[in-house]
Amino acid sequence: MEPIYFDHAATTRVLPEAAQAALRAMTEDYGNPSSLYALGTRAAKALADHREAVAQALGCQAGEVIFTSGGTEGDNWAISLAAHLGRHRGKHIITTAVEHAAVLEPCKALEAQGYQVTYLTPGPDGRVKVSDLEAALRPDTVLVSMMLVNNETGAIQPVKEAGQVLKRCRSQALLHTDAIQGFLKIPFTPKALGVDLLTVSGHKIGAMKGSGALYLRAGLRAVPLLRGGGQEKGLRSGTEPTPQIAALAAACTLGKAALEDHQTYLTHLKTYALAAFQKAVPGLVVVAAGDAPHICAISLPGYPSQVVVRWLSDQGFCLSAGSACHRGQASHVYAAMGLSKPVRDGMLRVSFGPENTQEEVDRLAQALGTATQVLLPAGR
């Protein structure tokens, strides 16, 4: 029996159209885009078309899109690039305490090199305050990195307002946003957000794992991530992974066309789900309803989340206790929100996709209610 999947924030099933696009790139348009014969030039033309498709989905110029292997590479590159470009102006970085590890870990690495990093703490709703950002801003700040949508709570962070603060304060700091959970889930463009660098990942939108893109604002003096044959404008050398890029482009085209419909449907489904969960489990806590339409965080206080997740898996449900990257470790996001230990220990993240139905939600709600009856609370 097919499992009922409620973990779209972790990864998504590859869309049939994306899989077909990748297959064509592997079996028909398989030439090296750098080759001069017809098969190569055909691959180069397809690569240009794919870049344009991703750019249209992002709302930017094709020349501002650099293909990457995914979100972790994009985040790491953006942070190291900003630090390099600002190396003569200062060594201060501002980020949030609820960023993905792909942002937090490179920031920690820079701290070991003498940088100072300010971690903005969120409120109980998971959002940081723009006033805290403005208070933390210094003349030697070279980077502000703030995710667009939190991957564990669905909270939309004030990235646009952060850009306005930087402009008003005439700060030379670059603004980066990890937009991986927001891309094709909520409407935005890099220009509207006021960002210099923006990261997206393919496997969150129905494309293949190992694909993604980094938006580099036009005019930004980038330095190469990988040196070699000069691909990606000399910034990321290596033969382009055309199957992954083809799948990414296909997913972007489909996602852009369906964005409004999916946003409306998922918003309704999540509202329905939260009501169903609370009705089925009187003690359930809605920790974060989530501003984004596809993510919410709930808790069964007293019931260890890992136990509940495994039990639900046995019943045919896929959901998580937080970011898949935690691998069972305690979430820094929930800790930063100041939640009590019983609530933190019972956390569950439910993330929806357009294929989920109200019937599936009802079945999950019933399973959550059963879980509190058959599983022993912690300490019992």
Q: Catalytic amino acids?
A: 325
Burial 343-363 (b: 16+ CB within 10 A, else e): bbbbbbbbbbbbebeeebbeb
The SS3 of residue 200 is strand
Instruction: Report phi then psi at 234, rounded to 5.
Output: 80, 5
Do 174 and 82 touch, CB atoms closer than 8 A? yes
Please name the residue ranges forming H helices in the chain: 16-27, 38-58, 71-85, 101-111, 130-136, 159-168, 190-193, 242-280, 305-314, 332-336, 341-345, 358-374
- Residues paired with 178 in a beta bridge: 199
Query: What token pair was written down for 341?
Result: 């230990």
Q: Phi, psi at residue 40, to the nearest 5°?
A: -70, -45
